[in-house]
Structure 1
Amino acid sequence: MRISEVSRLSGVPASTLRYYERIGLIASDRELNGYRDYDAEVIDRLALVDGAKQLDLSLPEIAELLRAVDGDTCTQVRESLRPRLAKRLSEVDDRLAILQRLRDRLLAASRRVDACPDSGDQCRTECMLMRERPCEPRPSRSGIGR
């Protein structure tokens, strides 16, 4: 298959196919005219690359996985993949915990912003973003309340 057909069938742009070939993720033969000639198995290989990318594996990790797929048994590949997936899962759990804390802080800040009273005075945004309770109206400069 020519690169345009592989691109059409896989949904992978030709520029990406050339890059994948340069870094060794896929391979092609060259015809006498210099055109790349891919075998039909490249579609399955690209599907594996896409699946690994969706798991947020890096291209070097994917290359290592492909080397294992090419030379090891299914059991060996599984045993090689298992710790990588566990590590990625742990990293995702850590990121989710950080994002949950951020979400909680954003919700609290949003509640404080909503609770701030209308005022014609200069805004004191620190009361919205730093305090745990809604801001209190600031006494006027004359000493008389609003």
Structure 2
Amino acid sequence: MNSFWENVFVDTAAVYSVVILCTFVFLAVFELVTKYKNWEEIKKGNLAVAMATGGKIFGIANIFRFSIEHNDALLTSIAWGTVGFILLLLGYFIFEFLTPSIRVDEEIGKGNKAVGLISMIISIGLSFVIGASII
């Protein structure tokens, strides 16, 4: 049975499945902390929300990429991915806090593409910094 779990295809399927599940959970958390409904706004064609959400998805995936690359155990990768997500979420709150003249959530919800783009770039950029610090 050990050879089954050591098979590269089984390992890849397990990692893939867990990362997809974690991504859904993490996106649900982002949905809770934003004032707009991501998927409803995307369905309406709100490009700002799509860019911000895309940046979050990329950020989560990139953090997991670093986590998987640096850890052999799946549970350790999940733990580091979760820590990375929390830091990414913290970065989102810091962005909101450091721009008091712009209500980031409201602007993205209203379709402000410039704020959506900056939010996307922040998520992507932070994911590289967070990922690089994962051991």
Question: TM-score normalised to the size of structure 2?
Answer: 0.31
The structure with the largest alpha-carbon Rg is 1
The structure whose residues are more often helix, as a share, is 2
Question: TM-score normalised to the size of structure 1?
Answer: 0.29
